[in-house]
Amino acid sequence: MQTVQGVAVARTCAEFSAWCRSFRAGGRTLGLVPTMGALHQGHATLMRMAAQHADGVAVSIFVNPKQFGPAEDFGRYPRQFEGDCALCAAAGVAVVFAPAVEELYPAGFQTRVEVEQLQARWEGQSRPGHFAGVATVGIKLLNLALADVAVFGEKDWQQLAIVARMARDLGHPTRILGAPIARDPDGLAQSSRNAYLSADERSRARAISAGLRAVARAAADGQRATAPLVAQLRAHIEAAGGRIDYATIVDAATLEHLDCLDRPARALVAAWFGAPKLLDNWALGPSDSADAGNMR
């Protein structure tokens, strides 16, 4: 394997799988953090969480074409491999897996993994085929690493729920963990997409987290009907000039819309401020577990 910016890099499935087997052979535990690169400090929090649950951390960097729709520009997704490796090295990552597209999807590849109900609404409705791409690459990475834990960010709550359900349904031994959302001091959820915001758009985009906090306060004060909470959230975002794709309150595990906060719930929102669509969410109702493997 080569070394880039101080971290070992595997380029082939065979190389990565062999490294993971060798690492675990001595009884050591392994954590996996799947990413698409363009790493930032939010990703570093995922790596640190993985390190808290395992003796070593592997990070995959793969811009997955199967989760891009026909109207989404796969070629324009930011790629900064040297910088990504430097961040991984600083976070103490043991190995980076950075395969070419044809390595994960060789000629003749036909398999598609779907988690039917969880992918049908919200982000899945806006981006048909997206979560099938996420699940397909997800199971490939889980199978290659056979890690003890895999860490995904809670910012993409629907993705986390889908990966957890897939792992549970398929009996995969890797435990799926959700890492709390990393936020900048102004409250904006950290995301690779934030780089596309102008200063004005970024300032206005703070309305997303402000609206979510307001909804959480209202829920904590006893508001149980979700319709007023969703209306409050939408008003915050629209007043700042945001264009909403969806804003809803759902069962944290099933992602079904809730009319009443009588179980662990999430307020989900996706909205455009300028070109990038920003995703965020907030826990509501009775506390839900950070271990996504507990999702039913």
The set of catalytic residues is 43
Q: Taking CA 178 as the corner, what is the angle to CA 190 and CA 148, rounded to the nearest 5 degrees?
A: 125
**C-alpha–C-alpha distance, residues 248 and 265, integer Å:** 10
**C-alpha–C-alpha distance, residues 249 and 160, integer Å:** 16
Sign of CA dihedral 77, 82, 83, 89: positive
Residue 189 forms beta bridges with which residues? 183
- Quickly count: other Cβ atoms within 10 Å of residue 103's Cβ: 16
b/e per residue, 214-232, with b = 16+ CB within 10 A?
bbbebbeeeeeebeebbeb
**C-alpha–C-alpha distance, residues 252 and 115, integer Å:** 16
**C-alpha–C-alpha distance, residues 43 and 182, integer Å:** 8
DSSP string, 235-247: HHHHHTT-EEEEE
Q: Which distant-in-sequence residues (6+ apart) come within 8 Å of 101 by Cβ? A: 65
